[in-house]
Amino acid sequence: MGTFRTGRTPPRVGDGVIFRRALIGIVLFLGAILILAPLLIIGVEAFAKGWQVYRDTILHPDTRHAITLTVLAALIAVPVNTTFGVAAAWAITKFDFRGKGFLLVVIEIPFSVSPIVAGVAYLFVYGLQGILGPTLDAYGIKILFAIPGIVLASMFVTAPFVARELIPLMQSQGRDLEEAATSLGASGWRTFFSVTLPNVKWALLYGVVLCNARVMGEFGAVSVVSGNIRGQTNTLPLHIELLYHDYQAAGAFASASILALIAVFTIIAKVALERQGAGRVRPAANPAENAS
């Protein structure tokens, strides 16, 4: 028996010890500065003036109202967006029709548009200078500078989220199972709930979690449409800005810490859901390419 060495594998490109350690070091160093530090500083600054100030800020009526408003916006916007996302994913992946590619592009638009532009666009629909503004005003319906406007603007910005998670996955899953179910006599709803949904539940859940995080965190679009009235139309992100500009940095960070916790939860949820099979699907082909 010759000499025995175990478990060595030949090095691949970039596996040299020095290079590898140096690259990992640089990447982790920059990552700590650019990504980790901003997260940690929230905690530090939030408690900079002590626990008392933190508590007072969180329990302050304006803060509590902002939280309520933010949660309310999420409670409305997320289910609506989810319904839309599911409907869109169903229509696009299970059927062929003209204009499918175009529809996909349109769904992706909010992803590329600046949130300010989104807010301004909503202004020009529901504001007094907008198309529907004068009519709504005549009937006393308040959209802008009130909750409906906030919800609508948030829906614009997060519209693609659920659809984007579902479409590549459902595309790669094909239609065979649904066709089998239908041929066995199942109705549309039955097919969807018994066959399709179980296959995509983790991706769906992830899309919902992500959508929620973005709705709660939306700033630019909501800045434009909410009117910034303290205690009445400020969502939590706007409330943070308000406190910050009022030189109440610790208060701002205290409020920010709530959103930061939600962000951390979102990330943890993502890791857990990816283990189950959600998240980064390698699309077999760009869905837009499959449009006939």
Looking at residues 6 to 35 of the shown chain, list those that interact with other proteins (rule: CB under 8 A): 6-16, 19-20, 23-24, 26-28, 30-31, 33-35
- For residue 215, give the nearest of 90, 110, 291 by alpha carbon: 110
Crossing angle (nearest 10°) for helices 197-217 and 160-173: 160
Closer CB to other proteins, residue 65 or residue 253? Answer: 253
- 235 Cβ contact partners less than 8 Å away, ≥ 6 residues apart: 66, 69, 70, 73, 150, 216, 218, 222, 226
Closer CB to other proteins, residue 88 or residue 204? Answer: 88
Residue 206 in the binding site for other proteins (CB under 8 A):
no
Interface with other proteins: number of residues (CB under 8 A):
121
Closest approach of other proteins to the CB of residue 14, in Å: 6
Closest approach of other proteins to the CB of residue 98, in Å: 8
Count Cα neighbours of 29 within 13 Å in the Cβ-side half-sphere: 6
Closest approach of other proteins to the CB of residue 255, in Å: 9
Closer CB to other proteins, residue 14 or residue 61? Answer: 14
Footprint (CB under 8 A) of other proteins, residues 142-201: 152, 155-156, 159, 175, 178-179, 182, 187-189, 191-192
Closest approach of other proteins to the CB of residue 283, in Å: 7
Footprint (CB under 8 A) of other proteins, residues 91-130: 91-92, 94-97, 103, 105-118, 120-125, 129-130
Footprint (CB under 8 A) of other proteins, residues 216-255: 216-220, 223-224, 237-238, 240-241, 244, 249, 252-253
Q: Which of 56-64, 141-149, 197-205, 211-219 is the region at the interface with other proteins (rule: CB under 8 A)?
A: 211-219
Pair of tokens at residue 73: 């916006």
| Amino acid code (one letter) for 167 | I
Out of 166, 203, 211, 259, the only residue in the binding site for other proteins (CB under 8 A) is: 259
Out of 4, 51, 139, 247, the only residue in the binding site for other proteins (CB under 8 A) is: 4
How far apart (Å, rounded) are the C-alpha atoms in residues 250 and 241? 12
How far apart (Å, rounded) are the C-alpha atoms in residues 208 and 200? 12
What DSSP assignment string belongs to 39-61? HHHHHHHHTTT-HHHHHHHHHSH
Degrees to nearest 5, angle at CA 26 with 20 and 31: 125
- φ, ψ dihedrals at 140, nearest 5°: 75, 20
Pair of tokens at residue 245: 């500009």
Closer CB to other proteins, residue 33 or residue 75? Answer: 33
Handedness of CA 68, 74, 75, 77 (dihedral sign): positive
Closest approach of other proteins to the CB of residue 128, in Å: 9
Count Cα neighbours of 43 within 13 Å in the Cβ-side half-sphere: 6
Closest approach of other proteins to the CB of residue 292, in Å: 5
Closest approach of other proteins to the CB of residue 199, in Å: 15
